Amino acid sequence: MFRIQTLNLDNYLEDIQIQLVRTYKGEILRTMTGKVAAFPASFITVGFNIQLLGPREKIIQAQQLLLSADTVLLTASYNGTAIEGKFSCTQHSVVEVRDKGERSLRLAASLVSDGSSITKPGGEPFTIKSGETVLYNDCSFGKVYQLTGAQYKLNGIPLPDNKVLVLGDTQVVR
């Protein structure tokens, strides 16, 4: 599944790579020996690198959509999880691909979330559950959530500081 606004580009998606980057709001404070004394507040930035290959008309239309506004609605699939959110095209390139009719283009683009919620298509949020108990029911893809109470585990591994990064509906255990 891959759409920009409502333009379905499933058949032209050649490659998609997600990038999750921790961004700090301030300086990381270090002691004279180089040890980190304090981390500033941080957040996760979600981005995608995409490559589309297809007919000239479709690729130009995709390029026009990506560059027509600061943000566009992107619907994609990550590890089997459908997501939707607003993304900004930070860089792109279009090259002509030699074929018999010389009608194909390849578009490569980097897209970065605008920081608003990334949800399931249609706006439904993700959940964090422990068994049948819902711990959080209004989660956004790519955000870190602090779990309270007991120490939780994700796939048998204790969560660092009882925090979990949401990459879809998430199941944790005590």
Specify the residue for token string 């990506």.
66
Same domain (yes/no): 97, 33: yes
Same domain (yes/no): 12, 57: yes
Beta bridge partners of 92: 109
Assigned domain for 95 exists: yes
Domain final position from 92, 113, 134: 113
| Phi, psi of 69, rounded to the nearest 5 degrees | -145, 165
Same domain (yes/no): 90, 150: no
Q: Residue 80 carries which DSSP code?
A: T
Q: How many domains is the chain partitioned into structurally?
A: 2
Same domain (yes/no): 76, 105: yes
Across all residues in the chain, what is the average pLDDT? 90
Same domain (yes/no): 11, 50: yes
Domain final position from 64, 92, 113: 113
C-alpha 113/C-alpha 71 separation (Å) is 8
- DSSP H stretches of helix in 1-120: 56-68
- 120-152 pLDDT tens trace: 999 999 999 999 999 999 999 999 999 998 899
Task: Please give the structure tokens belonging to residue 102.
Answer: 């010389």
* Residue type present at position 25: K
- 48-89 pLDDT tens trace: 999 999 999 999 999 999 999 999 999 998 888 999 999 999
Assigned domain for 17 exists: yes
Assigned domain for 46 exists: yes
| Phi, psi of 167, rounded to the nearest 5 degrees | -125, 30
pTM: 0.82
Question: Is the predicted pLDDT of residue 107 greater than 80, yes or no?
Answer: yes
Same domain (yes/no): 104, 148: no
Assigned domain for 89 exists: yes
Residues of the chain with pLDDT > 90, as a percent, come to 71
User: What is the span of the domain harbouring residue 142?
Assistant: 126-172
- DSSP H stretches of helix in the chain: 56-68
pLDDT of 54:
92
Whichever domain contains 105, its CATH number is: 3.30.70
Same domain (yes/no): 98, 130: no
Assigned domain for 62 exists: yes
Same domain (yes/no): 139, 59: no
Asked if residues 56 and 104 have their Cβ atoms less than 8 Å apart, the reply is: yes
